Amino acid sequence: MEHIVYAVLLFLAISGGLWMWWKQRQAVSRLARERDAIEVEERRMFNFLHGLGEKLQADQSPGNLHRYIVDGVSDVIKGDAGVLYLLNVETNCLVPVYQSAGTAPVLPVPPEILDEKNEADAEGLYRSYIRLATLVPAGSFIGQVLREGGVLHVPDLVENEAFAGSCPNPRFISGVRLIATPLVYARRALGVLIVTRKGGEDFSRNDEEVFGSIAEQSAFALGSAIAHSDAAEKRRFERELTQASEIQRVLLPRAAPELSDYGIAAEYRAARHVSGDYYDYVRVDEDRYGIAIGDVCGKGIAASLIMAMCRSNLRSRAPENLSPASVLHSVNHSIFPDIREDMFVSLLYLILERGSKEVTMALAGHEPPILFREASGGTEVFENTGMAAGVDEGPVFKRKVKDYRFRMEPGDILLLYTDGIIESESSCGEEYGIDRLVMVLVENKDLTAQELVNEVMADLHRFSGEEPRSDDITLIAIKKR
């Protein structure tokens, strides 16, 4: 009997040992498989990161980079499909910039697509829906990823409230696992990266860690590419602005006309590359010369284009026309249909005549010119400034803008200017003002027109110092000989 008991115990001991050996062998085998899988995944990750670095150096075009990131990360963690959303900073919306060849069901399926009987047509419609749908971060499942941060892992979309609640039909989402994370570069949210897997094993903890690491590097690559693109775009824009500035300066007079009866000088300085200020000298006929000055309400490219239109129209209507008001009426009629409602143009146009002391002038909402009288030593400021061009189509403008005639005796000086001069500010916020301009004019009445312009600009610089100009500056001095 004892022998039987010993035999049974020996058998149980051997069986237990064999069972424990088998279980240990299984565990070792499982650990080996997991280790091998991790090594393969890490090798894929390193290959991806190496390729990402090469891609960033060789080709920073957004489309190729987006494709490489989505398809590459899907391959590393064995996903079936993926989508990349980027945040549009102007609209604050998430925009899909790339989706893989496989369909990643990242949005609840609309009812009309669920009702489509043909599977291929339904999938095509669903892919188009994903590609075209921009999302508000505050009201979407993907926006939740952006708001909460970290890696979001959804083991089954059918059980997720965002999908199951609005999509009771499991079409496209049945058995789909999802992993997503925001892309952040220099504390700035760039977008959301999503990878899905249909069927098979769920994403592992290692998959999540690898996915998070890849997302960080992808965000750095995207951020660098965006910064590079922005810098390139800025350089291109600056080149275009420089070219526009050069073209605009070509449109300005190279020199003042040499008139026996008048000395004329001008100064023009743009606050930016291109300007909304304008001045011009136009030959009316053999004995008369027209002088124009203007200022568009606005700055930059739009203002410079409006000024180019005014110049072209004024030059085409000035020859043989002895009425400055008539010329400005034509300019207003030409630009009114094309000017924006929030823009207008102030203009002044006058005609000087050889052998005559009479000047004919019309003002369209421009700064009042200053006339120094040599005989009295005093100054006059013209108050009737009319109506700016581009505000009224015609009838009111014609009533407001009329010819005004006055005489200039030898030694008299007429100053024409834009508001950039009198509105220039000192470091204390004080405006230069028309009174100071009048004072400088009177103190330098004996100078030539060019010397007077130089002195006004020097005084303006002394007043405003190194403060950056916020407006364009144009000054014309006309001195009667």
Residue spans of the domains in the chain: they are 36-230, 244-480
What digits encode the pLDDT tens for the residues 140-195? 888 888 888 889 999 998 888 877 655 557 788 888 999 999 999 888 899 999 99
The percent of residues in the chain predicted with pLDDT above 90, rounded, is: 48
What digits encode the pLDDT tens for the residues 78-124? 899 999 999 998 899 999 999 999 999 998 888 888 888 898 999 99
User: Going by C-beta distance under 8 Å and a sequence separation of 6 or more, which residues neighbour residue 305?
Assistant: none
Q: What gap in Å lies between CA 347 and CA 364, rounded to an integer?
A: 5
Q: What gap in Å lies between CA 22 and CA 154, rounded to an integer?
A: 35
Handedness of CA 108, 73, 214, 156 (dihedral sign): positive
pTM of the model: 0.60
- Please provide the CATH number assigned to the domain covering 244-480: 3.60.40.10
Tell which CATH architecture fits domain 36-230: 2-Layer Sandwich (3.30)
What digits encode the pLDDT tens for the residues 1-60? 666 766 666 666 676 666 676 666 665 555 555 555 555 555 555 555 555 555 545 555
Residue 42: predicted pLDDT: 55
Contact between 158 and 174 under an 8 Å Cβ cutoff? The reply is yes
